[in-house]
């Protein structure tokens, strides 16, 4: 194989994942290998044997490029997530009650208002999720019952029609696999619902403690003011 053939084959493989400019830059780099090798007195075949096959080179370069692109996308996504979390935290801090602040009573009212608004918004969503989960569970239970009822018919069908035995067996295996997958999804859904329900309850309880402390502080301040008078 000559240098021209090597570079032409490499070019064809590189076109699958690189732009024309990137391909030309890579080819230019590898052409320099041949120039350096020729200066050292090496033949094209000796240089090619040292470089490896064009396909392997292209696959390695494509793999490195994909890895870099994935890292960039991941970093960008993480950056956006951090920025969104920061904005949400700054916004939620506006509703947090600072007991050392003179206006903690106003913050308390804002927090109560926020709790009411979020609860009103969440009620229909929670009801929909609950009904959907219940329907999903009912469907899963029904499918298990149908499978149990249909099992004797499948056995009798195999005894009457032996030629469908293989089809029935594969059908049963596929059905069992599908059922296992669906049940796993259902369990993950329940875990997710449980997780966010706990978070909401924790958020309500935390805010309520601050509200109660704010009320108590306000009463103590008023009581202290009355004593001073």
Which residues of the chain are under the pLDDT cut of 50? 97-100, 227
Cα–Cα distance between 60 and 35 in angstroms, integer?
22
Rounded Cα–Cα distance for residues 215 and 221 (Å): 10
CA distance 174 to 157: 18
Task: Give the Cα separation of 202 and 205 in Å (integer).
Answer: 5
Token pair in block for residue 151: 């099992």
Q: Compute the residue count for the chain.
A: 229
pLDDT of residue 99: 44
Cβ contact 217:97 at 8 Å: no
Structural tokens at position 78: 């993480």
Cα torsion through 83, 86, 90, 91, rounded to 10:
60
Instruction: Name the burial class of residue 109, with classes exposed (0-12), middle (13-18) and buried (19+) by CB atoms within 10 angstroms of its CB.
Output: middle
Are the beta carbons of 48 and 1 closer than 8 angstroms? yes
Distance linking the first and last C-alpha atoms of the chain:
104
The residue behind tokens 């469908």 is 164
Using only the alpha carbons of the chain, give its radius of gyration: 34
Burial grade of 186 (CB within 10 A; 0-12, 13-18, 19 or more): middle
Q: Rounded distance, CA 40 to CA 30, Å?
A: 16
Separation in Å, CA 207 to CA 71, 122, 195, 220: 39, 17, 19, 20
CB 58 within 8 A of CB 10: yes
- Tokens (6 digits) for 120: 């009103």
């Amino acid at each position: 194989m000559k240098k021209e053939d090597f570079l032409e084959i490499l070019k064809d493989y590189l076109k699958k994942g690189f732009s024309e400019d990137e391909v030309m830059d890579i080819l230019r780099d590898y052409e320099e290998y041949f120039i350096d090798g020729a200066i050292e007195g090496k033949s094209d075949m000796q240089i090619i044997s040292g470089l490896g096959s064009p396909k392997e080179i292209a696959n390695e370069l494509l793999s490195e490029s994909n890895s870099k692109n994935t890292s960039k996308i991941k970093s960008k996504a993480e950056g956006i997530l951090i920025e969104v979390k920061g904005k949400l935290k700054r916004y939620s801090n506006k509703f947090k009650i600072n007991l050392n602040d003179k206006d903690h009573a106003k913050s308390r009212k804002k927090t109560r208002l926020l709790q009411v608004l979020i609860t009103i918004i969440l009620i229909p969503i929670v009801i929909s999720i609950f009904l959907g989960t219940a329907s999903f569970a009912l469907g899963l239970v029904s499918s298990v019952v149908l499978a149990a009822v249909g099992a004797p018919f499948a056995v009798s069908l195999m005894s009457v029609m032996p030629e469908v035995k293989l089809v029935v067996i594969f059908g049963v295996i596929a059905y069992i696999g599908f059922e296992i997958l669906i049940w796993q999804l259902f369990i993950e859904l329940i875990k997710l619902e449980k997780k966010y329900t706990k978070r909401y309850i924790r958020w309500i309880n935390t805010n309520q403690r601050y509200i109660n402390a704010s009320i108590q502080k306000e009463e103590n301040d008023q009581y202290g003011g009355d004593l001073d008078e």
